[in-house]
Amino acid sequence: MIKNDLFLRALKGETVERPPVWMMRQAGRYLPDFMKLKEKYDFFTRCRTPELATEITVMPIHQVGTDAAILFSDILVIPQAMNIEVEMKPGVGPWLPNPIRSAKDVEQVIVPNVEEELDYVFDAIKMTKLALNQEVPLIGFAGSPWTILCYAVQGQGSKNFDKAKQFCFTQPLAAHALLQKITDTTIAYLKQKVKVGVDAVQIFDSWGGMLSPVDYNEFSWQYIQQIIDALKDITPVIAFGKGCWYALDQMSKSGASALGVDWTCSAQNARAFTNGSITLQGNFDPSRLFSPPAEIKKMVHQMINDFGKDKYIVNLGHGILPNIPVENAQAFVDAVKEYKA
């Protein structure tokens, strides 16, 4: 039995004494101990070495005291396993030297045996579960098929993913073939994560907000729905579409256990769009962690009051920024733990 099961209870919509708290990208660059490892090992070495991934995953549990751990990994391990080369370039971020631009390129993409190609991830999960010693739940994650397509076609990060959208709109058959391959791989990957021990999974649709509502349905949501359908009976699923407030009503009927909300959507609107029917997660602006700790605490308490303490998981509206002072992240977590309804 997990000693602190607040997160899992909130996912079930149970009444809780206070909402649980964790932060997207909590195992990362704002922690000095993480930076020491970063100086020694490159990004994908950290992802592919179970001992390092475990150490990084457990760090924020011991150092800032979140109510859940999220496995240190990256959404781009999936395309790597699918025969798409991905590098992490300093100062650039993800870099794909041979982006996908044609139906012929899509044919070269494989649906791999995830147990073989991504075995290092599953080893890290087993190791992390031992290190956590049933203290808190462990979250596994994957990028949405659309978000993975964005990187695979664009070849790097982008403000508008124009090449990815052009590919979808000029070669829709090839785009859907690629999206389906990513979806099939992601389902197998997440199922295996559950099998080896994660307690919940989150789907990150980081670039969903790049699409219009109509295009979102065609190129993103229908594939996320396939993933939810395949996973919802074996584990709680959190769906997070950044910038996708317009889809919250539809998402709330998907069978997901919770929906992530970014800071551009108010608690009141998020509850209204979902008819109060589902657990919501979010939505503190990560940049607001630059505010003084006393102010952070005040704002967090207001945020909990706005969402309500039940059917709610406190989180940021996106990942924590690398230059946030640790004491400010600590103030964010402490504010939740000190909350009294």
Looking up tokens 């004494």 gives 17
Tell me if 318 is assigned to a ligand binding site: yes
Classify burial at 246, counting beta carbons within 10 Å of its beta carbon; exposed 0-12, middle 13-18, buried 19 or more: middle
How far apart are alpha carbons 135 and 217 in whole angstroms? Answer: 39
Which DSSP letter does residue 12 get? T
How far apart are alpha carbons 130 and 124 in whole angstroms? Answer: 10
Tell me if 206 is assigned to a ligand binding site: yes
- Element (H or E) spanning 228, and its range? helix 222-231
Looking up tokens 């402490």 gives 334
How many residues comprise the chain?
A: 341
Tell me if 26 is assigned to a ligand binding site: yes
Classify burial at 52, counting beta carbons within 10 Å of its beta carbon; exposed 0-12, middle 13-18, buried 19 or more: middle
Distances 324 to 231, 305, 316, 320, 327 between C-alpha atoms, Å:
34, 25, 13, 7, 8
Tokens of 147: 């978000």
Going 90 to 97 to 227 to 273, the CA torsion angle's sign is positive
Tell me if 271 is assigned to a ligand binding site: no
Q: Tell me the CB-side half-sphere exposure of residue 93, using CA atoms within 13 A.
A: 9
Tell me if 29 is assigned to a ligand binding site: yes
Tell me if 72 is assigned to a ligand binding site: no
Phi first, then psi, for residue 27 (nearest 5°) are -90, 75
Kindly give, in sequence order, each residue whose CB lies less than 8 Å from that of residue 174, ignoring residues fewer than 6 positions away.
102, 103, 105, 106, 167
The annotated binding site for substrate is made up of 25-29, 44, 74, 151, 206, 318
What residues are designated binding site? 25-29, 44, 74, 151, 206, 318
